[in-house]
Amino acid sequence: MTTLHLVRHGETAFNRDGKGLGQADVPLTELGERQAQAVGTAFAAVPVGRILSSPLVRAREVAGAISATTGVPVEIREALTEMDVGETEGLDFADMRARFPEFIRLWSGPHAVDTTLPGGESLRDVADRLAPILSELHSLEAGEVVLVSHNFVLKALLCALLEVPLENFRAFQMDLASITAVTLRNGRVAVRRLNDVCHLDALNLVPAARSV
Residues 6 or more apart whose Cβ sits within 8 Å of residue 44: 69, 70
Q: What whole-number distance in Å separates Cα of residue 49 and Cα of residue 55?
A: 19
Known catalytic residue: 121?
A: no
Reference 14, options 63, 66, 105, 85; nearest CA is 85
Q: Which residues, other chains included, contact 122 with Cβ-Cβ below 8 Å and sequence gap of 6+? A: 113, 114, 115, 116
| Whether 82 is catalytic | yes
Q: Which of 82, 89, 121, 144 is catalytic?
A: 82
CA angle 62, 66, 131 (to 5 degrees): 70
- The catalytic residue among 5, 9, 61, 150 is 9
Beta bridge partners of 53: 76, 148
Length of the chain, in residues: 212
Element (H or E) spanning 196, and its range?
Answer: strand 188-196
Which are the catalytic amino acids? Answer: 9, 82
